[in-house]
């Protein structure tokens, strides 16, 4: 049976496939190479989320001595997204870098965001976008409910 969620996932996958090729081309332009890896990763993550139907509410939200890379709305759910980008997996995968200490910081900042913007009864979720590799070998993975 075809569901609304199934159609959404298929469209998101198609947009990601096309958008991924465009992202790689854009990132290889000479003036983009000087942009730090973390910032480029956040830009890629934000574009990926928009293609998947999310609305970006905030970028680099800072509160309570912590930061949330992206705050996004996904069909009524507020997603607090930690973006980790690594040029190689030699020191471990990007997702492994989101340890308990980092999770605690993101939770603290998310609580401050929820208070400041009065999110009320909206469901909250913590996601991780792991970006590894560089150029054409780059991989982006969205981990919903990562912690």
Taking a C-beta distance cutoff of 8 angstroms, is the pair 143, 127 a contact?
yes
Could you tell me the pTM of the whole model?
0.74
Query: Per-residue pLDDT for 130 more than 60?
Result: yes
Q: Between these two residues, 133 and 99, which has the higher pLDDT value?
A: 99
Scan for tokens 């054409």, then name that residue.
136
Query: Per-residue pLDDT for 29 more than 90?
Result: no
Q: What is the CATH number of the domain that holds 62?
A: 3.40.1350.10
The per-residue pLDDT for 34 is: 46
Scan for tokens 């496939």, then name that residue.
17
Query: Which range of residues forms the domain containing residue 41?
Result: 4-143
Residues contacting residue 68 through CB under 8 Å, at least 6 positions apart: 58, 60, 61, 80, 81, 82, 106, 109, 110, 113
DSSP symbol at 29: S
Across 13-25, average pLDDT: 60
Across 79-102, average pLDDT: 90
Number of domains composing the chain: 1
The per-residue pLDDT for 6 is: 67
Taking a C-beta distance cutoff of 8 angstroms, is the pair 68, 109 a contact?
yes
């Amino acid at each position: 049976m075809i569901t609304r969620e199934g159609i959404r996932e298929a469209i998101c996958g198609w947009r990601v496939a096309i958008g991924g090729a465009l992202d790689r081309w854009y990132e290889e332009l000479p003036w983009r190479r000087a942009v730090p890896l973390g910032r480029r990763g956040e830009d890629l993550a934000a574009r990926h989320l928009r293609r998947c139907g999310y609305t970006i509410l905030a970028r680099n939200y800072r509160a309570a001595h912590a930061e949330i890379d992206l705050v996004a709305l996904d069909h009524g759910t507020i997603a607090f997204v930690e973006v980790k980008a690594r040029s190689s997996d030699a020191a471990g995968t990007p997702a492994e870098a989101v340890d308990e200490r980092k999770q605690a910081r993101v939770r603290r900042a998310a609580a401050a965001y929820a208070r400041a913007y009065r999110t009320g009864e909206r469901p909250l979720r913590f996601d991780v976008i792991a970006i590894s590799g560089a150029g054409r070998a780059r991989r982006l993975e969205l981990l919903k409910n990562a912690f």
